[in-house]
Structure formats: structure tokens, C-alpha cells
Amino acid sequence: MSILEVASINSFYGDSHVLFDINLNVEEHEVVALLGRNGAGKTTTMKTIAGILSPRSGQIRFAGEPIQNLTSHQIAGRGLQLVPEDRRIFTTLTVEENLRLAALKAASPRSIDEIFEIFPRLQERRRSMGATLSGGEQQMLAIARALIRSPRLMLLDEPFEGLAPVIVEDLVALCHKLAEAGVTIVIVEQDVRSALLLAHRVYVLNNGHVVFDGTREALQADPDLTSRYLGMGLETDGLVQP
């Protein structure tokens, strides 16, 4: 069953046309990666889906209902949560306060204890202010703030950016655990190999256009495409099917 359907979306920043007839489909309990070089339109696509940027034309359906004319607050209330690139945690609140605040208006929030079972490191830091957390801990908190609202779909925008490789490994394992538990995820990530450890399917964007839509295996089998649009080759060693 498709939980997200994006049909012929065109988005603009002022007079600048940035997304051109974007079509995406995400099945429930699936992990989909949006890949591409910087400026390809990945984050703009996420912002458009989440209602931060209104599309000029096209349709977005979430759980079968059109949402392209709703506000970001209304879309979040329906169970679609964006974890933005800049994390946006409250640095002057503790970890636990961040979580309780996120849960306040959720229809069926998860319990704090359940979140701490998933994120034991956050339980250790539950009384620490957001400003004192490491980059990896802040990213965990950003994901946890979305997860406590029991989302049907999570959009993760560059969750591994700027983090040490060992922290990225921990976050990949965490996201894989969430996916195995049935959380539907769309991930934008410059770390292509880490994203492909999670993804069932892949879209590649270039200059606001979708230039590839298929499985990870199909992407790996097309070295010309990966070289042209991702600037790299994709070796199969170390990549396991989620």
C-alpha cells in the first residue's frame, strides 16, 4: 500500500523553478533514499512534502489524502514527521524536556520509557541540556523527537552529515532497527553508501529532475549513472540488503 504519492510536483523559490514534475512513490514499511549531488533538489523535495514549501502545481497524497494545500503543522498532525538537516532541538531544554514537548500534541505519543529503550544513550543524558550534547547525540534526539509522535512516515534530511564514521555506523544501525520495526522512512543523505545500507529503493535527482527510480541493485549495476549523478562508483562490498 502506498503511504506517499507525489505526482508531477513543481516547486519554486520566488521566480526560480527548482523542482520539475517530480514523481515519487513510497510504500508502507519501506525505506526510500533520495540521492544526488548538492543542489540536486533533495532537501527541497523533502520540504515540499512536509509543507514547508508549497508546490506551484502537482499533487501530494499521504495515506490516500491530498496534503499539498495543508500547512506543515497540519501535515505533521497527520503522522508525517520531518527531521530537518539542522536538527532544531531546543538547546536550552534537557533531553527529557525536548521529548515531552514534542509529545504534547501528538494523537498517540509513545512513552518516554519506550523512547529510552530505543535510545539508551539519551536515557543516560536525559537531564542534560541540548546544548551540551555531541553532534551524534543531538541527531539521536532529533530523530527521537519525531519518533515519540508515533509517525506513519519519517523524512530524514542528511542525518549523518558532519558526524564521525563510528557515530554514523551507530545511527545506521539505529535507523535499520526502526525500519525493521515497520517505520516508513524517506532519507536524504550525501553519504551514499550509508543510505544504501538502509534503502529498499532509490530515487536519484539532478537539477530538480528525477533521473533514476529503481532498486539499489539496479543503481549499483549502472556505473555510468552513478558516476554522472553521484560522482562515485558503488562497490557492492559491505552493502547488505535491508
Least confident of 20-34, 62-76, 226-240: 226-240
**Is the pLDDT reported for residue 79 higher than 90?**
yes
Q: Enumerate the H helices of 3-92 as residue ranges.
A: 42-50, 72-77
Mean pLDDT of 61-85: 94
Q: Averaging pLDDT over each range in 66-70, 196-200, 231-235, which range is the top one?
A: 66-70
Q: Is residue 119 within 8 Å of 80, Cβ to Cβ?
A: no
**In this predicted structure, what is the pLDDT of residue 236?**
42
Q: What is the pLDDT of residues 135-153, one digit of tens each?
A: 999 999 999 999 999 999 9
Q: Is residue 63 within 8 Å of 3, Cβ to Cβ?
A: yes
- Tell me the pTM: 0.90
Going by the DSSP 8-state scheme, the letter that residue 68 receives in this structure is T
**In this predicted structure, what is the pLDDT of residue 114?**
94
Q: What is the mean pLDDT of the chain?
A: 91
In this structure, are strands 2-13 and 201-206 parallel, antiparallel, or unpaired?
A: unpaired
Q: What is the pLDDT of residues 4-62, one digit of tens each?
A: 999 999 999 999 999 999 999 999 999 999 999 999 999 999 999 999 999 999 999 99
Q: Give me 114's grid cell.
A: 519506550
**In this predicted structure, what is the pLDDT of residue 172?**
87
C-alpha atoms less than 13 angstroms from C-alpha of 225 in its C-beta half-sphere: 19
H/E element, 13: strand 2-13
Q: Is residue 36 within 8 Å of 47, Cβ to Cβ?
A: no
**In this predicted structure, what is the pLDDT of residue 234?**
55
H/E element, 82: strand 80-83
**In this predicted structure, what is the pLDDT of residue 117?**
93
